[in-house]
C-alpha cells in the first residue's frame, strides 16, 4: 500500500513539440484505457506509484531517468485529458512553476463545474505541499505540484523538488485512499539511491516532537526567542553535524515576528500548526531545535527516500524516438480501447476525440 518518492538526475531542457504532442495523445489513450478497464480510483492509485509513473514516462518516450519525466508526463496527461476529463470523470490541476500556483483556483473551477466538493481537495493540495517543503527538510525545494482527482473526491498528488547543488530532483507521490495521516508516514515507500540527512517530522519516530511543537507555540514568544538565540550562540554544543544548520539559516528576529503573530492563533495539533500562514521550514526547524534542547525530544532525521522502451527516448536512449512507431502505437491503443466493453456514451465520445486528434498528427 506504500507509494512514495523517487530521486532522479536533474536535467534541463524540454521535450520538443513534435514529441510532446505524441506524448499527450498516447497518455490520453493509456489513461482512457485505465479508466475504462479499472475505473478512476485505480487509475489514481497507479499514478501514486513512483515505479508505475516512471514506467509510464518511459513508455511515452521521455528520458528514462530524467527529472523532466515528472513535469512532462504530468503535463502530457493534463493536455491529453483537457477535452475528455468530464467524460472520463478524471481531472488534473496544477503543474510546473506558475502553473502550480494556479492549482487551487483550478480545483475551485472544476469543482463548481462538476459539483465536486472542493474544500477537501484544496486542503490536500496545500497540506501535501506544506509537508514536503517544511515538515520534510531534505534539501529539495518544490517547484512542481499536480493533483489528479475524480468526482468521488479520491485524489493523487505528484510533486517535485529541486536540489541544484546536488543536481538532483526528488518526486513525491501521495494517494488519498492510502493516507491515514498527513503528518505521519504520509508517503505511502520511498525510492531513491540517494540518502540525505535532513529533518523529517513526518517520520513515526518524530511523534514526540510533533506533539511538543504546538505546545511551544503557546509559550510567550520572548521565551522561544531567548532559547533560540542560546542555541545559535552555542552552535558547536547544541548543533550536531547531522542537523545541517548554520547561524545564517535562522534569523531569530524573523522567527520572533512569526511567533508573535501566531501566539494567540487557534490551531489543532502539529497538522494545524503546519497549515498556519507564515509557518515555513525555518520556523519548524527552529521549534524542533528548541524542543530538543529544552525537553530532550529528538525528531527523526531519517531521509524519506530509497529508490525506476517502448518507442525510444528523447535524448536517444536506448535509441531515438521513432515517429512512425510512435504513431502506430497511438493507433493500436486507440483501437484496443475502442474494442473494449464500453457501456457509457461518454467513453465513446472520448475515443472519438482521440481519433479526431490523432488523424491530424499522422499526416505530419
Highest average pLDDT, of 17-21, 151-155, 163-167, 179-183, comes from 151-155
Out of 189-198, 220-229, 310-319, least confident range:
189-198
Overall pTM > 0.85: no
pLDDT in tens, 271-317: 888 888 777 777 777 777 767 765 677 777 655 443 224 566 666 65
All three cell numbers of 93? 490541476
Q: Give residue 167's pLDDT.
A: 84
Closest CA to 62 of 74, 75, 72: 72
Report the percent of the chain where pLDDT is more than 90: 25
Q: Report, as an integer, the average pLDDT of 41-62.
A: 86
Query: Looking at per-residue confidence, does 343 or 327 come out higher?
Result: 327
273-277 long-range contacts (CB < 8 A, ≥24 apart) are 273/213, 273/214, 273/217, 274/127, 274/130, 274/131, 274/134, 274/135, 274/183, 275/126, 275/127, 275/130
Question: Taking 90 as the threshold, does the pLDDT of residue 154 lie above it?
Answer: yes
Q: Give residue 105's pLDDT.
A: 96
pLDDT in tens, 312-324: 666 665 567 778 7
Q: What mean pLDDT is reported for the chain?
A: 77
Burial of 363 (0-12, 13-18, 19+ CB in 10 A): exposed
Give the H or E element holding residue 175.
strand 168-175
Q: Give residue 66's pLDDT.
A: 67
Q: Give residue 243's pLDDT.
A: 41
Q: Give residue 63's pLDDT.
A: 66
- The answer to whether the CB of 132 falls within 8 A of the CB of 147 is no
Query: Looking at per-residue confidence, does 12 or 343 come out higher?
Result: 12
Q: Can the peptide bond before residue 167 be classed as cis, meaning omega within 30 degrees of 0?
A: no
Q: Give residue 212's pLDDT.
A: 87
Q: Report, as an integer, the average pLDDT of 158-177.
A: 89
- The answer to whether the CB of 110 falls within 8 A of the CB of 91 is yes
Q: Report, as an integer, the average pLDDT of 160-173.
A: 87
pLDDT in tens, 4-31: 677 777 666 677 888 889 889 989 988 9
Query: Looking at per-residue confidence, does 244 or 212 come out higher?
Result: 212
Residues near 49 by Cβ (< 8 Å), separated by ≥ 6? Answer: 3, 173
Q: Give residue 150's pLDDT.
A: 97
Question: Taking 90 as the threshold, does the pLDDT of residue 147 lie above it?
Answer: yes
- The answer to whether the CB of 216 falls within 8 A of the CB of 192 is no
pLDDT in tens, 82-129: 989 999 999 999 999 889 999 999 999 999 999 999 999 999 999 999
Strands (E), 32-153: 90-96, 136-137, 141-150
Amino acid at each position: 500500500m506504500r507509494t512514495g518518492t523517487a530521486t532522479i538526475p536533474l536535467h534541463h531542457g524540454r521535450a520538443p513539440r513534435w514529441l510532446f504532442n505524441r506524448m499527450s495523445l498516447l497518455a490520453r489513450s493509456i489513461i482512457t484505457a485505465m479508466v475504462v478497464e479499472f475505473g478512476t480510483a485505480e487509475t489514481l492509485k497507479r499514478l501514486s506509484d513512483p515505479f508505475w509513473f516512471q514506467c509510464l514516462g518511459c513508455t511515452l518516450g521521455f528520458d528514462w531517468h530524467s527529472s523532466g519525466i515528472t513535469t512532462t508526463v504530468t503535463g502530457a496527461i493534463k493536455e491529453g485529458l483537457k477535452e475528455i476529463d468530464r467524460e472520463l470523470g478524471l481531472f488534473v490541476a496544477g503543474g510546473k512553476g506558475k502553473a502550480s500556483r494556479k492549482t487551487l483556483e483550478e480545483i475551485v473551477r472544476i469543482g463548481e463545474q462538476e459539483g465536486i466538493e472542493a474544500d477537501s481537495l484544496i486542503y490536500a493540495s496545500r497540506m501535501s505541499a506544506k509537508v514536503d517543503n517544511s515538515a520534510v527538510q531534505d534539501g529539495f525545494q518544490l517547484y512542481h505540484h499536480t493533483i489528479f482527482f475524480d468526482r468521488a473526491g479520491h485524489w493523487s498528488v505528484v510533486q517535485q523538488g529541486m536540489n541544484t547543488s546536488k543536481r538532483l530532483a526528488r518526486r513525491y507521490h501521495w494517494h488519498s485512499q492510502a493516507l491515514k495521516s498527513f503528518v505521519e508516514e504520509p508517503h505511502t515507500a520511498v525510492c531513491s539511491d540517494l540518502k540525505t540527512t535532513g529533518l523529517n517530522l513526518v517520520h513515526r519516530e518524530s511523534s514526540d516532537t510533533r506533539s511538543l511543537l504546538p505546545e511551544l507555540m503557546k509559550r510567550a514568544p520572548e521565551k522561544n526567542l531567548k532559547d533560540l538565540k542560546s542555541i545559535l550562540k552555542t552552535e558547536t554544543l547544541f548543533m550536531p553535524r547531522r542537523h545541517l544548520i548554520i547561524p545564517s539559516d535562522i534569523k531569530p528576529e524573523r522567527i520572533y515576528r512569526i511567533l508573535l503573530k501566531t501566539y494567540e492563533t487557534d490551531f489543532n495539533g502539529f497538522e494545524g500548526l503546519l497549515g498556519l500562514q507564515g509557518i515555513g521550514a525555518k520556523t519548524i526547524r527552529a521549534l524542533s531545535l528548541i524542543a530538543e534542547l529544552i525537553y530532550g525530544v529528538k525528531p527523526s532525521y531519517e531521509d524519506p527516500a530509497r529508490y525506476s522502451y517502448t518507442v525510444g527516448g528523447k535524448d536517444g536512449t536506448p535509441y531515438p524516438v521513432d515517429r512512425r512507431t510512435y504513431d502506430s502505437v497511438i493507433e493500436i491503443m486507440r483501437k484496443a480501447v475502442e474494442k473494449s466493453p464500453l457501456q457509457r456514451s461518454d467513453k465513446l465520445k472520448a475515443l472519438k476525440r482521440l481519433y479526431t486528434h490523432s488523424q491530424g498528427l499522422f499526416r505530419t
